[in-house]
Structure 1
Amino acid sequence: MHPNCSSNAVKGSLKTDFCSSNPNKLNHVTIVKNWHLSIVLPVVLALAADPIASLVDTAFVGHLGSVELAAVGVSVSIFNLVSRLFNVPLLNITTSFVAEEQALISKSKDDGGFEHQGKKVLPSVSTSLALADGLRIAEAVVLSVILGFLMNIMGIPMDSSMCGPAEQFLTWRAFGAPPVVIALATQGTFRGFKDTKTPLYAIGKYYSMPYVSSAGTLLNAILDVILIFPFGFGVGGAVVATVISEYLIAIILLWELNGKVELISPKIDWSKVSLYLKFGTFLVDRTIATLGTLTLATSLEARQGPIPMAGHQICVQIWLVVSLLTDALALSGQALLATNYSQANYQQARKVIYSVLKQIGLATGFPLAVFLFIGFEALSGLFTTDAEVLQIAWSGTLSQPVNAIAFVLHGLYYGVSDYEYVAVSMVVVGLISSAFLLVAAPLFSVGGVWNGLFLFMTLRVVAGFWR
């Protein structure tokens, strides 16, 4: 019998696999099947809601014209730069900390001190929500105060035809920053519990229909149809629809979390606060390196005019949807890995790593690449009928195997809280890729930009395996 089989944190089907009669052999197929049924599939469906909503917006805005589509592309890039700078550290650290705290509580014999009035009391949850409360205000202020400065950096001067729609989009989008932060903090908590179904139910509409399109995405699509065309709000209608749907999602998630956990803990673990700040600093560095490279690519496209930027926006949206779906796999592996690593079950943790990389990363990345290769023309036709824009949008859609492995590798590093290595490696990768972009974009236009992004993802994979 495996020496760690006595731990009551390893339960159900995972315990059967980890504690088999042969401790040196793990049933990878069974684990992956269980992950897809209990963890991975709900995460994929829940994470799909936001990028699908962006795709819906892009599809409707694309029919307003190439200028509007290009303006939204620049605006989304600016919003992501500010939003993810704060949100990515919060989501990933919350997932790992809650998973580790849950595992340690499960392993202890005395659980009585971790409940209050039938709800769990976890300092990591209260800490993450308190930080989210501060971050939501900071994001809204940053987006409102330095809007013009950010647009200039992105290559959109005041006399540009893209300036008006982009400014309108970002002004309204700033109001949507607070619910996004709160929603990510609550989702990180549920994933730390390895409960990926509750966010799916909360975002995904009805308990009796858990695998339907999300309520937020559905509401966003309905409001897009109403506000953009019949009411004539244009780009403003698209962003208002998105903001309303995000508030709906945040309210539902907080309501669900409040039924399970004390949102305001009677005791504050200040050591957790310091760890959040320490690891958060590493992840902010990592996020700056990542988004800095992606924002540079968008800026270089924007400087070439509305047509190249519109094509870039279509390609980026399709690319991001598939990339975020693979990121869901990384988040699922992160929670499982954090649980085993915190309990010093290193052999089981190693098996989780191999399973995620071989059975999930590669098996998901290649089919997605084939799907994009076959279906890109039909997908891109939903966004615009401009032949020149569609020709440009073809660039850079076949890198999904590399993307999938890169996202999964980073999720595994988060699972063992090795944030420092992720930060340092991403800074190096970002600097190399940015230098390539600055040289290649003026020479090869769109091709140079997407070759630079492919180099960026490839170097992420190399850095991931280097460790």
Structure 2
Amino acid sequence: MFPLVSITTSFVAREDATSRSSAEAEQDEILERGPVVDHEMEELMPLVACSNTKIAESKNERRHIPSASSALVIGSMLGIIQTFFLIFAAKPLLSYMGVNSESPMLKPAQQYLTIRSTGAPALLLSLAVQGVFRGLKDTRTPLYAIIVGDSANVLMDPIFIFTFGLGVKGAAIAHVLSQYLIVLILFWRLVDKVDLLPPSFKELQFGQFLKNGFLLLVKVIAVTLCVTVAASLSARQGPTTMAAFQICLQIWLAASLLADGLAVAGQAILASAFAKKDYEKIIATASRVLQIGILLGLLLSFILVVGLQFASRLFTKDIAVLKLISLGIPFIAATQPINALAFVFDGVNYGASDFAYSAYSMPFCRFWLQL
């Protein structure tokens, strides 16, 4: 999922900056001619008006950005493939994760995974569209769509789980419905901004997406491998350990991903600056996001150390689970500054379209840590 949204953000920001700069460059060329006599000004004014019109149209009319269409096509295909794969391979995957046939977790886990997989197309499409909006430097629209969708999820959860008595299946159904609601809202807003049907099939940049996507896929595998192994080992320890692990993991992800918002902002600004070759803006943006990232990481560490002892009781009242959570709190808090910097560095590299460095560095660091 993450390679798709990261690559889309960079490509869209670069194409949008390039299309805008052509109209702005025309206007600057006219204005740089300096003082002119009255009869020359009369001839020049239509050109200035035409240039201003082009800039206004580029801001208000639907934009022609081929990478946006490419991301949507690839997202749809990957979502469908993922759905079929998870449906037919649910039981073997759970067995590999340590949930054997005798485990009480097998039936609800298989039900949840099978139903949840039907939301994969919506999830991949929503991430692709979010990448488009991020590249256009519009972070409000995805925020509003996600707030509406997640709020609907929160409201539907108790209805499907308790009122309808569906249990874990109800949680999966609520989540799938919320994902499709999010993607519908995003599409509704996107069609007003971007022309999603390029006139030529050659403009669809499948080659660049697949090449850079493969590079980032190496990184994603390196990152998720550690989490997957940890989840598998926790599952083998029983439901109590697995419950504590999942609570700690979700808290760690929620805190860590706050830095991702900072990284995304830096990525979009840097991609536009690289397209315009504005090197002063590149240096200033990279320095500022790194500074803010360090402060954000330290702030998150402090909040988690102070508040997590009490906040963990919002997830469960089980004493055994709470005891295991308390053992994980120092790790969750201590890793926040490192996580924040890691996300910000990724944003800087993605903004420069340097996906190869991110892909090669992550497996090397993981291998070194394992040693």
Q: Which TM-score tier does this pair reach, normalised by the shorter chain?
A: 0.7 to 0.9
Q: How far apart are residue 419 of structure 1 and its match?
A: 0.8
Q: Specify which of 42, 60, 64 is matched with residue 121 of structure 1.
A: 64
SS at match of 1:159: coil
Contact 2:67 2:204 in 1 (8 A): no
CA offsets 1:298-320 (integer angstroms, 9 cap, x no match)? 11221222111111111011111
Q: Specify which of 332, 345, 364 is matched with residue 397 of structure 1.
A: 332
Q: How far apart are residue 375 of structure 1 and its match?
A: 1.2
**Is the radius of gyration larger for structure 1 or structure 2?**
2
| Amino acid in the other structure paired with 2:118 | F
2:263 alignment partner in structure 1 = 330
1:371 alignment partner in structure 2 = 303
Gaps of 5+ in 1: 1-86, 204-213, 437-467
Identity %: 42
CA offsets 1:91-134 (integer angstroms, 9 cap, x no match)? 0000000000111111113796997x942111111111111121
Q: How far apart are residue 334 of structure 1 and its match?
A: 0.4
Q: How far apart are residue 254 of structure 1 and its match?
A: 0.6
Taking the aligned partners of 1:259 and 1:90, their CA distance within structure 2 comes to 22
Taking the aligned partners of 2:150 and 2:3, their CA distance within structure 1 comes to 24
Q: Specify which of 66, 88, 93 is matched with residue 2 of structure 2.
A: 88
CA offsets 1:334-372 (integer angstroms, 9 cap, x no match)? 0001111122222220111110001x2011111111111
Q: Specify which of 149, 153, 157 is matched with residue 96 of structure 2.
A: 153
Matched, 1:224 2:157: yes
| Amino acid in the other structure paired with 1:427 | P
Relative to structure 1, is the Cα distance of residues 184 and 276 closer, same or farther in structure 2, using a 3 angstrom cutoff?
Answer: same
The alignment's TM-score, normalised by the length of structure 1, stands at: 0.69
1:185 alignment partner in structure 2 = 128
SS at match of 1:265: coil
Matched, 1:382 2:314: yes
SS at match of 2:14: helix
The alignment's TM-score, normalised by the length of structure 2, stands at: 0.87
SS at match of 2:343: helix
Contact 2:66 2:196 in 1 (8 A): no
SS at match of 1:161: coil
SS at match of 1:189: helix
SS at match of 1:233: coil
Taking the aligned partners of 1:390 and 1:150, their CA distance within structure 2 comes to 28
1:422 alignment partner in structure 2 = 358
SS at match of 2:194: coil
Q: Specify which of 291, 294, 300 is matched with residue 362 of structure 1.
A: 294
Q: How far apart are residue 89 of structure 1 and its match?
A: 1.0
Taking the aligned partners of 2:218 and 2:225, their CA distance within structure 1 comes to 10
The 5 Å alignment of 1:1-400 reads 87-109=1-23, 118-203=61-146, 214-270=147-203, 272-358=205-291, 360-394=292-326, 395=328, 396-398=331-333, 399-400=335-336
SS at match of 1:264: coil
Taking the aligned partners of 2:211 and 2:310, their CA distance within structure 1 comes to 46
CA RMSD in angstroms, aligned pairs only: 1.9
Taking the aligned partners of 2:204 and 2:110, their CA distance within structure 1 comes to 41
Contact 1:165 1:235 in 2 (8 A): yes
Taking the aligned partners of 2:97 and 2:114, their CA distance within structure 1 comes to 16
Taking the aligned partners of 2:300 and 2:349, their CA distance within structure 1 comes to 24
CA offsets 1:40-98 (integer angstroms, 9 cap, x no match)? xxxxxxxxxxxxxxxxxxxxxxxxxxxxxxxxxxxxxxxxxxxxxxx111100000000
CA offsets 1:191-212 (integer angstroms, 9 cap, x no match)? 1011111222333xxxxxxxxx
| Amino acid in the other structure paired with 1:305 | G
Taking the aligned partners of 2:281 and 2:157, their CA distance within structure 1 comes to 47
Taking the aligned partners of 2:343 and 2:323, their CA distance within structure 1 comes to 28
Contact 1:217 1:245 in 2 (8 A): yes
Contact 2:70 2:204 in 1 (8 A): no
Taking the aligned partners of 1:141 and 1:132, their CA distance within structure 2 comes to 15
Taking the aligned partners of 2:65 and 2:150, their CA distance within structure 1 comes to 31
Contact 1:202 1:256 in 2 (8 A): no
Taking the aligned partners of 1:383 and 1:348, their CA distance within structure 2 comes to 44
Taking the aligned partners of 1:381 and 1:271, their CA distance within structure 2 comes to 50
**Structure 1 stretch displaced more, 104-113 or 330-339:** 104-113
